[in-house]
Amino acid sequence: GERLVTDVEVFQEILHRYSSIQRRDAIQPAFDALAAIAPETFPVEMTHLERAKDILLAMATVSARDAVHMAVMEHHGISRIMSFDAGFDQFPGISRIHSPD
């Protein structure tokens, strides 16, 4: 079967979002929930950032964060992403899961 994985950037996004809306109390529960459903966390390495740069230079409408996620996914051969972010729909070969089945 398939397994859920994540990358460290998703944890950084939790830190950023909850601190920016003054909800620091939600950080630990969000970390715990993510770690429970996706027990493997991939690092973001310089090679991923180099690839993210190439993606950004080639695709004008892609966000930097999405480009980093895509670079990590490419590196690990991942072609499906669970996200509400429609920005991932513009990546060829990527299928976005955005509602529970």
Would you list the domain boundaries of the chain? 1-42, 44-101
- For residue range 49-80, what is the model confidence (pLDDT) as tens digits? 999 999 999 999 999 999 999 999 999 999 99
Q: What's the pLDDT score for residue 2?
A: 84
Q: Look at phi and psi of residue 93 and say left if phi exceeds 0, alpha if psi is from -120 to 50, else beta.
A: left
- For residue range 8-44, what is the model confidence (pLDDT) as tens digits? 999 999 999 999 999 999 999 999 999 999 999 999 9
CA distance 12 to 78: 20
